[in-house]
Structures are given as C-alpha cells and as structure tokens.
Amino acid sequence: MSFPWAQQYAPQNGLMKWVDERLPLPRLVYNAIGAGYPVPRNINYWWNFGVLAGVALVIQLITGIVLAMHYSANTLVAFNSVEHIMRDVNAGWFLRYAHMNGASFFFIVVYIHIFRGLYFGSYKAPREMIWLLGVVIFLLMMATAFMGYVLVWGQMSFWGAQVITGFFSAIPLVGEPLRVWLLGGFVPDQATLNRFFSLHYLLPFVIFGVIILHVWALHIPGSSNPTGVEIKSESDTVPFHPYFTAKDGFGLCVFLLAFVAVTFFFPNMMGHPDNYIPANGLSTPAHIVPEWYFWPFYAILRAFTGNFLGVDAKLWGVIAMFASIALLFFLPWLDRSPIRSANYRPLYRIFFWVWMADVVLLGVCGVMPAAQPWIILSQIGSIYYFAHFLIIIPLIPRFEKPLPMPNSITEAVLGKPSSAAA
C-alpha cells in the first residue's frame, strides 16, 4: 500500500522509539489515519460519513455497555427494567435515549455513506473488496439493530421478532424447524430474548472487526475522490492529518449537534409509541411497522400479494427482500462503465436520482398500511428497484457518452496548467 511520497513515521523520543521497535502500533495508526496516509486533496464533505459511522458505532458501544449494567434480559422484567433505566437510574434516560437515537443516526450516516459510494462509483475496481465488506457491515448492522429493538420487549419488539423470524418459515421444508430453532420455542419468549441479548452484545464487536478489514482494504488503493480520477502524483494528495482530521472534526461537530438536538428535544421522533406497551403474545398491534431504516425493505416484502410461477407469495416476498440487499454484492460487476464518478456520467446521474426517489417511495409504502394504493405503489417501486440494478445499470454504458474528465486531481482543483504540459 501507500504512495512513495507518504510521510514516514519518526518516533519523537526515546520512549516512542523503544515502543516502535517492540510493538509498532503508533506507526500503524500514523500510517492509517495520521500524516502517513496521503488522501486526494479534492474529497468533499460526503467523504466525512465513513468516519462519522465509526463514531456512531463507538457511541453505540459505550452507551450499550453501560445500559447492559442496568438491563435485565428476562421476559418478566425486561420491559420494566427499561422503564427503570428511564426513571430510576441516574442519567439513565439520557443513556437510553442516546442509544435509541444513536441507532437511527448510525443508519442515517451509513445510508449517506452508501449513497455516496453509489453516486461516485466507489465500488468499482480496484475497490470492490471495500464495497463487499461494507455490505457485510450493513447486514450485521441490520441484524444487530433488529435484536436490540426486541430487547425492549414492548409490543413492537415482540411482534417484530415474530414477523422477522417468520421470514425464515417461508423456506420450504426446513423453514418451520429453522424458525423454532432460532426462537428456542414456538413464539418469541425467554429463550429468544436471552439469546438476542447475547448476540446484540456480541455483534457490534464483530462489526468493529469487519470495519478494521474495511479500512485495511481501503488503504490498499487509497481513498476515491469526487472526480473518480486515480491519484497520479504527490500534488494530487495531502496528508490525512491534519487536513482531514480537521475536516472530519468539523463534520463530526455538525453530526453531534444534530444528534444531541434530537436526543434531547425529539427523543421519540423516530420510535413507535406502541413499543411503550408491554409485549402481549395474544394481541397483535393493529399496524405493525419496523423501524424507519427497514421501511423500504419491508415494502418489498409486502409487495407480493399472490402466488405466481408456482411459488407462494410469502416465499417471493422473503426472497425479494433478501435479494434487494444481496444484489449490492454484485454491483461492482453489474456496472461495466469504467467511469467512476456520476459527475461525468450524464445518464447514470439521472437514473441515480430516480433510484433514490424510488427508495424514498418504497420507504413511504413500507410505513403505510397494507392497503391500496400503497400495495400497487410498492409493487411498482419494487420492480423499478430491481430493474435499476439488473437492467438499467448494465445497459447505461452502451448509450452513455461520458463528459470530458480532468487529467488529474490537481488539474480538477487548480485548472489546466497554462503551459500545456503533459
């Protein structure tokens, strides 16, 4: 990795030299997120969101570990122990609201991070592995968030667990035994709650591990940039520290401002009031909705209302929902255009925004009741979602005439040199 002009780590004193010779951890950090990592000089604020996602994970880890000291994973007291945290534990309301909204903010920054990757073609060679690991992190986040939501043991927790583990019962033959195996019973109960608590505590550390791989893979080719032109010379880059530690620091302040504003003033804005009703296995809430970050996928799940091609509607819904995420794994090979950035891809740019609108439409359908016109809209939205990845993206390069690209990042920033030098 790294470019030949990258700054070299030099221990400042005898102690650091002693450490460097025995365990070169400071050197690793210096080369990873310090002055030793040259970064394209033109990356904009959309490139803040990777660091912000890392910070969001740390917020979740810290608040979560503390909450676990007061929470009890027992169906008889779980709901009350959350209320105990809210009312009795010192600063418990803050820790719990921070954890609850922290999950939403984690998804907000990760979604922006993913959309940035899609717009600027960050998934293309040689960065496919970074993208694949990112999709793995996204899947782990979804599993973690789902299990955390169940721990509250309110009505939405319980019925969310029932519906989501119900996905697995759609699998022919092994489905129902698999569901019972996952739940440890015939309905979500003590065994389910306890294992979800165990896994909810474990998975963030697994995510942390995959993030290390994600960043490692990033450091092989180095960061992409808004032009999509690769780094060619030293003048294309600046050291990560202090240039982007400062820029990320500014972005972090804005992020934390939004985060605490919501946590303090609108803490239940992204939650559902039914989850303040204790779980009742004999009464389903009139209208089950998942957390907002699952709405588009939930709409795809519900878009199938009848059997076709000899496969029942339930299995179709589950296949389509999982496929909508699994498709992302194939994206680097579905998109054949060698141009990375949508800034130079006039056709792709239009379809990118249409697809974004489609995702928003699916999100709206996901929160609405399973009735018309939302069913037909979610069907149209789902068809378009798949068409975007399977038809539109592979076909665009055949018809698209890319715009002229700068020869280098330096040229994109400073303009063409007056003496037309190569």
Partner 1 sequence: MATDTALAEAVVEDGVRRRDFIHLAAVSWAGVGAVAVVVPLVYQMNPSADVLALSTTEVDIGAIAPGQAIKTSWRKQPIFIRNLTPTEIAAANAVPQSELRDPQSLAQRTKTGKENWLITLGVCTHLGCVPLGASEGENRGDYGGYFCPCHGSHYDTAARIRKGPAPRNLDVPPYEFTSDTAVLIG
Active site (annotated) includes residue 291: yes
Contact 299, 381 (CB under 8 A): yes
Answer yes or no: 200 catalytic: no
> From the list 199, 370, 383, 390, which residue makes contact with partner 1 (rule: CB under 8 A)?
370
Cβ pair 236, 409 in contact under 8 A: yes
State yes or no: is 81 an active-site residue. Answer: no
Task: Check binding of 287 to partner 1 (CB under 8 A).
Answer: yes
230: annotated active-site residue: no
Phi, psi of 397, rounded to the nearest 5 degrees = -55, -25
Type of residue found at 415: G
Q: List the catalytic residue out of 236, 291, 335, 358.
A: 291
Least distance (Å) from partner 1 to the CB of residue 169? 8
Q: Is 248 a catalytic residue?
A: yes
Single out the catalytic residue among 219, 230, 232, 408: 219
In the set 29, 140, 313, 383, which binds partner 1 (CB under 8 A)? 313
Question: Among 113, 247, 272, 388, which one carries the catalytic annotation?
Answer: 247
| Contact pick of 302, 340, 345, 388 for partner 1 (by CB under 8 A) | 302
Q: Nearest approach, Cβ of 200 to partner 1 (angstroms)?
A: 16
CB nearer to partner 1: pick between 242 and 373:
373
Whole-angstrom CA distances from 168 to 113, 137, 174, 315, 388 are 29, 21, 9, 9, 27
Residue ranges in 39-58 that form contacts with partner 1 under rule CB under 8 A:
none
Query: Binding string, 188-217, against partner 1, x = CB under 8 A?
Result: -x-x---x----------------------
Q: Which member of 9, 97, 159, 201 binds partner 1 (CB under 8 A)?
A: 159
For partner 1, the closer CB: 182 or 328:
182
Residue count at the site for partner 1 (CB under 8 A)? 39
Of 213 and 313, the one with the shorter C-beta distance to partner 1 is: 313
Cβ(317)–Cβ(304) below 8 Å: yes
Piece in contact with partner 1 (CB under 8 A), picked from 37-45, 249-257, 301-309, 350-358? 301-309
The residues binding partner 1 (CB under 8 A) are: 159, 162-163, 165-167, 169-170, 180-182, 184-187, 189, 191, 195, 281-284, 286-288, 302, 304-307, 312-315, 317, 369-371, 375
Catalytic residue annotation:
219, 223, 247-248, 291
